[in-house]
Structure 1
Amino acid sequence: MRTTHLMAAAVAGTVLATAACGSAPAADPAAPAGPDTTITWQSTGGDNTEYEKQAFQEPFTARTGARFENVTSLNYISQLLTMVEQGQTVWDVVHTGSYLVKQYCGTLFEPVDLSRFPADLVPEGTTTECSVPATKYAAGFAYDAAAYQGDAPTTIGDFFDTARFPGKRVVFAGSPKGIIEAALVADGVPPEALYPLDVDRALAKLGTIKSDIIFAPSFTALQQNLVNKQATMTITLSGRLGIIRDSGSDLVPVWDFTSWDFDAFVVPKGAPNAAAAKESLEFALQPEQLRTYSALSGLTPVRSDVDPSSVEYTESGKLFNPFLGGDRGDVVLQDPEYWARNYNAVAEKWTAWQVG
């Protein structure tokens, strides 16, 4: 993650310019949310930012009068490292992944009062001193039903059987999470014995079909590969599968082995509106808001007192959701402690293997 300093000069200039802009008084980090508060919310952009506006921000504004400014950066950890190191944090909320929360709690992210959050209603190992999880999603295996109308895939091993099930497989090039777990289970590792991951064994298994894998540089490209029939199978984010199906690909899920992960909203160190930000997140993690967000995004609330069947998912959203009950095979948490310690090293191996 120290590649951050490659961007330090540019980011620092942006941060300092933002801090110097105008003559408005500095925000009070301890002030509660109110009409004079503007919470700067860093998210993933696109449709997801619109979902967060509808589910979290607009209802919070209606309740408190606080306003939101939404920002998006693909290199948000890099930018945040620079902000915190220079004492010039300008964001109040950051939407991030499980392993990053584990890596940077106390370094980049503020501790929160867990008694104010549903920490007792989420799975063991998913909380930190800085967060509780919001929603969960899976690395789902799906295939194009039009390509396999007779003999169809039924197990995770079928993803690796190009003799019986010919066709290109497409995966997201940018992250090894989910695909490494799938390769190991397909190679005979019991789902309950996955961690610590044998990455070399997983890459060797993937190597048996490497010539049939398309490494998509983005989820948009992955979607296009499937809709345009350039690929007939994928292992990718479950929420994306519904979107791809609705875009014209006749995807069908395979319920054999699925690994899942979660996201979280955190308050960065030195946030100018820290108290108001924590208040907004406490509000966002309540059942009503989580149901709305999940229905829009296709994700699933983590807290145990929200029944996934109570979320008004679309038909495609239901089809690829591994948390709705019934026989959906083995559904295993991607160990957040393992990934927090090892993500960088595994990602480097994954990238080198793709180009090697």
Structure 2
Amino acid sequence: MGDVGIDRRAFLTTVGGIAAGAAAGSLTACESRTGRSATKSGHVLVVRNFGGSYGEANRKAVYDPFTRETGVRIKVVNFGHDQMLAQIKEGRPQFDVMDIDMSNLLLFEHEDASEPLDYGRLKNARNTGIPQSLLTPNGVGKSYWASVLAYRTDAFDGRRPESWADFWALGAFPGRRALQGEVDWPELEFALLADGVPLDGLYPLDVDRAFRVLDEIRGSVRTFWEYGAEPGELLSRGSVMASSTWAGRLQNMIGDGVPLAYEWNGARRQSNGYGIPKGSANQDAAYRLIDFALRPEVQAHMARLYPDGPVVPAAYGHLTESTAVHLASTPGHLLSGFDLDIEWWLENQDAVTRRWQQWARS
């Protein structure tokens, strides 16, 4: 699910030091002339998402059906997080809804840059099985994605790695490895799982132990990948035999006959969500869109178009088994994986990331 990690990492490098610069001011002025008067009328709702195939899937599954039902047109923008914060701090956000990673929604909450949600206006979020961790004061989860273990099926004499312990077992599963680079949080959890830490005992992370385990395979980690398609490229070329990857990124290659597979055991889940920026000009329509997107049938439609898992369990009643098996929130995958602890990572990100950078360059 790649662009989300890039999206958040850009924000993490700018949050806390945002100033309303000339570029942001110019952008704000331009948007004021082109779109906001219409938004205030209630006929146009401005949604920020990160575009690409994700944006196109949202248009087909969410925005166009919402417009047909309500008459409210959706305008999509792709502001960077520094631009978003600058506009909010000026009191003139040029978007009404933000579709971003849940860790970013928490950061916006900490920056007093988002509106507290009135869950009384979100009937499809109440008593529908959405995990409590995704029902935060200023953001509601909308989809799951995950990092998983991927490998070449022709690399290990018919054996298949079934855990992160196997990823670390260079004797039984020899060959070059790849791990995620700075596009997202360092993958310390996988090292700890490889060393026998249970899923429910990961947090708070034992950082020293994780780096000791990472040292065991450092000589075989030849690449730190930086974009979502890269693990598949490395694996398909035989540059590495096993790699972490974002689930769903290999599916087309597997369908084309490339000898690749991935393992859900030990998957690290993260979530996208919706929030409303502080000062949104069209909150009523924003609530209507968010509630619409949480309908089970809409969640299922989105999952058929883009490989993120629904947060509403009833959505799986609208999905075939062949689709559900590839999604991070199927019941079996929920049991075999874990949710990244956003609060822990935000509290420890600076020190851990610096240490990881030093390790990766060693």
TM-score (norm 1): 0.86
RMSD of aligned C-alpha atoms?
Answer: 2.8
Asked if 1 retains the 8 angstrom alpha-carbon contact of 2:270 and 2:340, the reply is yes
Equivalent residue, structure 2, for 1:53: 59
Q: Distance in 2 between matches of 1:24 and 1:338?
A: 38
Q: Distance in 2 between matches of 1:71 and 1:233?
A: 36
Which secondary structure state, in structure 1, belongs to the residue aligned with residue 141 of structure 2?
A: coil
- How far did residue 195 of structure 1 move? 0.6
Give the 5 Å matches for 1:203-282.
203-213=211-221, 214-246=223-255, 249-282=258-291
Which secondary structure state, in structure 1, belongs to the residue aligned with residue 229 of structure 2?
A: helix
Classify 1:277/1:119 alpha carbon distance in 2 versus 1 (closer, same or farther; 3 Å). Answer: same
Matched residue count: 345
Which secondary structure state, in structure 2, belongs to the residue aligned with residue 196 of structure 1?
A: coil
Equivalent residue, structure 1, for 2:116: 111
Equivalent residue, structure 1, for 2:303: 294
| Alignment counterpart, residue 33 of structure 2, candidates 21, 30, 36 | 21
Paired AA for residue 12 in structure 1 = A
Paired AA for residue 191 in structure 2 = A
Q: Distance in 1 between matches of 2:217 and 2:36?
A: 59
Asked if 2 retains the 8 angstrom alpha-carbon contact of 1:184 and 1:194, the reply is yes
Asked if 1 retains the 8 angstrom alpha-carbon contact of 2:89 and 2:113, the reply is no
Equivalent residue, structure 2, for 1:165: 173
In structure 2, list runs of 5 or more residues that go unmatched. 1-11
Give the 5 Å matches for 1:166-181.
166-177=174-185, 179-181=187-189
Which secondary structure state, in structure 2, belongs to the residue aligned with residue 219 of structure 1?
A: coil
TM-score (norm 2): 0.84
Between the two proteins, what is the percent identity of the paired residues? Answer: 27
Q: Distance in 1 between matches of 2:91 and 2:313?
A: 38
Classify 1:278/1:345 alpha carbon distance in 2 versus 1 (closer, same or farther; 3 Å). Answer: farther
Give the 5 Å matches for 1:92-107.
92-105=96-109, 107=112
Q: Deviations over 1:253-289 (max 9, x none)?
A: 3343223222101111122322212211111111111
Give the 5 Å matches for 1:111-150.
111-117=116-122, 118-120=125-127, 121-150=129-158
Classify 1:172/1:285 alpha carbon distance in 2 versus 1 (closer, same or farther; 3 Å). Answer: same
Asked if 1 retains the 8 angstrom alpha-carbon contact of 2:156 and 2:174, the reply is no
Classify 1:60/1:84 alpha carbon distance in 2 versus 1 (closer, same or farther; 3 Å). Answer: same
Which secondary structure state, in structure 2, belongs to the residue aligned with residue 205 of structure 1?
A: helix
Q: Distance in 1 between matches of 2:134 and 2:140?
A: 7
Q: Distance in 1 between matches of 2:180 and 2:13?
A: 23
Asked if 2 retains the 8 angstrom alpha-carbon contact of 1:91 and 1:271, the reply is yes
**2:21 counterpart of 1:9:** yes
